[in-house]
Amino acid sequence: MQGDGRGGAPLTCPNTNRRAPTGVEMDVQSLRAHWRSTLRCDCPHCDDVHDISVRDVYLNGAVDNLHRLMRA
């Protein structure tokens, strides 16, 4: 699992309902190993720290990619 603060799968801020990048990118093995883990992410929209499951981050990214493909 790695993160650089730019890009990666998104989180949805529970306070503003806006998307923000987590900076987290995973390969299949890391995703499988951390599937039930929770991430703590600094939110650029509300300046709070949110706990979000790896599972939710992955699913948010998959939905975003699907929307992007449907618009193309």
pLDDT tier at 2, thresholds 50, 70, 90: very low
Provide the pLDDT for residue 44: 92
- For residue 5, pLDDT over 60 is answered with no
Distance CA 60, CA 70 (A): 15
Note the pTM of the prediction, 2 decimals: 0.71
Distance CA 50, CA 44 (A): 11
- Residue-wise pLDDT for 15-67, tens only, equals 999 988 888 888 889 989 999 999 898 999 999 999 999 998 888 888 888 88
Distance CA 1, CA 18 (A): 24
